Amino acid sequence: MGKYRSVFDIIGPVMIGPSSSHTAGAVSIGRIGHILAGGIPDRAVIHYYESFARTHKGHGTDYAIASGLLGLAPDDPKVPNALAIACGMGVDIEFIEEDGDSPIHHPNTAVLDMEKDGKAVSFWACSIGGGTIEVRRIRMDGYDMRPSGLLPMLFIEENHSRRDSDKALSTVEAMLGRGGHVMQKTIYPKIDGEGRRMIGFELEHPLSAAQQDEIDVLASRLIYLH
């Protein structure tokens, strides 16, 4: 199946239309923004490339991404009204059609620059069909992370104490290994050389709520994208 992990990734999700790639996938992209920002952002600038730049208005991509930023599911009946809802909440959303090629080499690319409570978060994502997305790059809190793309993925930030961090990470890796979850592990240092690191795990299977809770207790900071 290549980049698709199940037949449902090809058929697509239950959704508000019109397009699984440009609408349902765009909701998922916005939802990643919601997770990374730690809730609804105060401001978001969405840069569209290639196919997204040409067709976003007709395919509902604008309201789809906005709905994801608000934390709505793809089948939520409020999805088509997301832009008005966001405006009423004081959320500033801007859409920019970029002329150049996609920076991550996919026609359905969106780059989101967000702000929440004075903190900036940016990420690069694309919709690859059937409502499935890839997250190719994340910049936040002094980290520049470049996963291969497919969800789910898990990021754990080290504690200040390297010894405590190593012990916690060993426990997390053992737990993920027992479940056959980990496809790839990557260590991302802070750009400013502060010394702390973010450990990224690209996962084969989603984590259960119980597994997330177990990891959350061990990690000083956990980001789970799914």
Q: Which residues contact 107 (CB under 8 A, 6 or more apart)?
A: 49, 50, 51, 52, 126
The identity of residue 136, as a single letter, is R
Tell me: the pLDDT tens digits for 201-213? 999 999 999 999 9
Q: Does residue 18 have a cis bond before it (omega within 30 degrees)?
A: yes
Query: What's residue 2's pLDDT?
Result: 47
Rounded Cα distance, 71 and 54, in Å: 25
Query: What's residue 11's pLDDT?
Result: 39
Decide if 99 contacts 13 (C-beta within 8 A): no
pTM score, whole prediction: 0.88
Tell me: the pLDDT tens digits for 102-157? 999 999 999 999 999 999 999 999 999 888 999 999 999 999 999 999 999 999 99
Q: Are strands 182-189 and 197-203 parallel, antiparallel or unpaired?
A: antiparallel
158-186: b or e for each residue (b if 16 or more CB lie within 10 Å)? bbeeeeebeebbeebbeebeeeebbeeee
Average of per-residue pLDDT across 21-26: 78
Rounded Cα distance, 196 and 190, in Å: 6
Enumerate the H helices of the chain as residue ranges. Answer: 7-11, 25-37, 50-55, 61-69, 82-88, 162-178, 209-218
Tell me: the pLDDT tens digits for 4-23? 444 344 434 444 444 555 58
